Amino acid sequence: MQKIKNICCIGAGYVGGPTMAVIAQKCPDINVTVVDINEQRINSWNDPDFSKIPIYEPGLADVVKDSRDRNLFFSTDVDAAIEKADIIFISVNTPTKTYGIGKGMAADLKWIELCARQIARVSVTDKIVVEKSTLPVRTANALKSILENTGNGVKFQILSNPEFLAEGTAVADLMAPDRVLIGGDVATKEGRTAIQTLVDIYANWVDKDRILTTNVWSSELSKLTANAFLAQRVSSINAMSELCEKTGADVNEVARAIGMDSRIGSKFLKSSVGFGGSCFQKDILNLVYISKSLGLNEVADYWEQVVIMNDHQKNRFAANIVKTLFNTVSGKKITFLGWAFKKDTNDTRESAAIHVADFLLKEHANIVVYDPKVTADQIYKDLDYLEGNDLETIKKLLTVETDPYKACENSHAIAVLTEWDEFKTYNWQSIYDNMLKPASVFDGRNILDLDKLKAIGFNVDGIGKP
């Protein structure tokens, strides 16, 4: 078996950074170099002040501190890291295509292809190339073809090792994963050896019975399937939330009742303003695109409904704010508590807050945002990105506060968009006293004690509440 000395990971993002930090901590004999073309991101990973690393994740700064500059390195010198590595993880972004064939559905694989071409050009020794990014099933074929046809005659083994961490719990998920999945060329001896090499790395801290090995296509497709199933649970409970609101049932009670059935399980049944994040929507749309490309229209329609339901949930949350505030929010101040797509992360990609803000800005509302971890810069970037928005006008209508109490002063309504724990412990009486009346709270995460708020005098609205 090959003794692994050097690992390179291309992409220092939400997956590459935390994953490699944990590998470096658990495998002190292996040098791990994380490379990225984004110089600013690499500089932040190397910041002497560990609280300034670019990704906020509970516990991550300590893990990075443990190994950085010992056997964990962050660099922009991609070629040097590739050349030295025995194993190369590709962990670059694979967003939904915004142009050309498959626009709005297919995964954009241009960054993956660039990595493959660079690996082929630079490599002068045999390498194991690992797909860590989430990819359409059968991408390994394309990688193989590029590596074999544009390389220097060295041998490549391609493995699929999708990542299942969730943001906000990335470190805990990486330290004790439900499973590690490794797909490879099980039909050849070289393929099986490559699989075993990666198994041995994870076996430094993961129980062997939690490390699954499969053929490469099962591994690629399992990642898309896992995200589709998880997102489908959220859309399913959100569909029931609307029915609850019309019938007097309470979605939390329904979720608890069904979750106690061990066949259904209690996790991932929290009704919300809608799921966000960089992956659920993109991966389902990718699955829909793949299904359509294979002529499987019913399969495509089935999964597309999960995304349609999610868009509906975000829209109806925003529309309800307008309706409740006497059918107009023009010139009214609405405070957003939370902007991140979930708690304990500074990631805002596809956050429901962006869509709700867009809806309300089109109704000429004045929005004030408070989020404990998201910067004003990021919030404006998120809105600038939306079609038809003009940043100068947005800046007049939407402001960002760093003090939650100040953010709520003189506002007509508060909308909870992220489930940050701190929101539960605010002095809601004092917030009420400083708001315009009638004062409304729209809890898009069902985290607040609505009875207590009602007793203070608030008009309250939760999701799926009678």
Residue 158 three-state SS: strand
Q: Is the peptide bond before 48 cis (omega within 30 degrees of 0)?
A: no
203 binds ligand UGA (CB under 6 A): no
CB of 445 to ligand UGA, least distance (A): 8
> Which range binds ligand NAD by CB under 6 A, 149-157, 159-167, 212-220, 296-304?
159-167
Give the 3-state DSSP-derived string for 372-432, with helices as H, strands as E and coil as C: CCCCHHHHHHHHHCCCCCCHHHHHHHEEECCCHHHHHCCCCEEEECCCCHHHHHCCHHHHH
Sketch the per residue contact string, 155 through 184, with ligand UGA: x for CB under 6 A, - otherwise.
Answer: --------xxxxx-----------------
Q: Which of 9, 27, 279, 408 is catalytic?
A: 279
CB of 417 to ligand NAD, least distance (A): 19
- According to CB under 6 A, which residues from 115 to 134 bind ligand UGA? 134
CA distances from 25 to 190, 402, 446 (A): 28, 34, 37
Q: Helix count (H) and strand count (E) of the chain?
A: 18, 14
279 binds ligand NAD (CB under 6 A): yes
167 binds ligand NAD (CB under 6 A): yes
111 binds ligand NAD (CB under 6 A): yes
Please check whether residue 55 is in contact with residue 174, taking contact to mean a CB–CB distance below 8 angstroms. no
Q: Give the one entry of ligand UGA, ligand NAD, none that residue 286 binds, where binding means its C-beta sits below a cut-off of 5 to 8 angstroms depending on kind.
A: none
Q: Of 279, 361, 383, 431, which lies in the binding site for ligand UGA, with binding defined by CB under 6 A? A: 279
The string of DSSP letters for 221-287 reads HHHHHHHHHHHHHHHHHHHHHHHHHHHT--HHHHHHHHHTSTTT-STT----S---SSSHHHHHHHH
The sheet carrying 180-184 orders its strands as 72-75, 31-35, 6-10, 87-90, 127-131, 156-160, 180-184, 211-215
Q: Of 50, 111, 205, 268, which lies in the binding site for ligand UGA, with binding defined by CB under 6 A? A: 268
CB of 199 to ligand NAD, least distance (A): 20
Q: Give the one entry of ligand NAD, ligand UGA, none that residue 37 binds, where binding means its C-beta sits below a cut-off of 5 to 8 angstroms depending on kind.
A: ligand NAD
Which residue number, 167 or 419, has a Cβ lying nearer to ligand NAD? 167
Q: Give the one entry of ligand NAD, ligand UGA, none that residue 230 binds, where binding means its C-beta sits below a cut-off of 5 to 8 angstroms depending on kind.
A: ligand UGA
Q: Is 279 among the residues known to form the active site?
A: yes
Question: Rounded distance, CA 149 to CA 119, Å?
Answer: 12
Please check whether residue 352 is in contact with residue 387, taking contact to mean a CB–CB distance below 8 angstroms. no
> Which range binds ligand NAD by CB under 6 A, 37-45, 181-189, 266-274, 407-415?
37-45
> Which range binds ligand UGA by CB under 6 A, 76-84, 262-270, 376-384, 394-402?
262-270
341 binds ligand UGA (CB under 6 A): yes
Question: Rounded distance, CA 57 to CA 373, Å?
Answer: 10
Taken in order 353, 169, 422, 257, the sign of the CA dihedral is positive
Backbone angles phi, psi at 274, to 5 degrees: 130, 150
Question: Rounded distance, CA 31 to CA 353, Å?
Answer: 40
Q: Give the one entry of ligand NAD, ligand UGA, none that residue 19 binds, where binding means its C-beta sits below a cut-off of 5 to 8 angstroms depending on kind.
A: none
Which residues of this protein are in contact with ligand NAD, per CB under 6 A? 10-16, 35-38, 41, 78, 91-94, 111, 114-115, 133-134, 163, 165, 167, 278-279
Residues forming the active site: 279
Which residues of this protein are in contact with ligand UGA, per CB under 6 A? 134, 163-167, 227, 230, 234, 268-270, 272, 275-277, 279-280, 341-342
